[in-house]
């Protein structure tokens, strides 16, 4: 299931919110990840948009809290962050 704020698949659930967006300036996202009802992590991500002569610079900052035994798994976190950036790019290009 996906509705822009919640994605659920095979026991994995991601809930997301976008507080305080400022068009052409920043996008802030908070999200929680769950697996089979167990809370894995909570993150706050900001995407700053800086206009340049030939495009826009993206400034990406993320702060995450990894709960219990679900500490930062580098390769999976990188894959998730890449997926988030690809979804953002697709949305901004439409």
Mean pLDDT of the chain: 79
Decide: 66 and 40 in contact? Cβ < 8 Å: yes
Is it the case that residue 68 has pLDDT exceeding 80?
no
Across 54-78, average pLDDT: 80
Q: What is the pLDDT of residues 7-50, one digit of tens each?
A: 666 777 878 787 777 877 888 888 888 888 888 889 899 999 99
CA 88 → CA 35, 43, 58, distances in Å? 24, 16, 11
Pick the CATH number of 6-92 from 3.20.80.10, 3.40.50.300, 3.30.530.20, 3.40.50.1100: 3.30.530.20
Chain CA centroid to CA 12, Å: 15
Q: What is the pTM of this model?
A: 0.68
């Amino acid at each position: 299931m996906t509705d822009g704020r919640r994605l659920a698949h095979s026991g994995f659930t991601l809930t997301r919110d976008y507080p305080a967006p400022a068009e052409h300036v920043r996008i802030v996202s908070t999200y929680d990840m769950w697996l089979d009802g167990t809370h894995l992590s909570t993150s706050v991500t900001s995407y700053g948009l800086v206009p340049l002569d030939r495009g826009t610079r993206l400034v990406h900052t993320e702060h995450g809290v990894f709960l219990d035994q679900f500490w930062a798994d580098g390769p999976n976190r990188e894959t998730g962050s890449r997926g988030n950036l690809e979804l953002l790019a697709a949305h901004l290009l439409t």
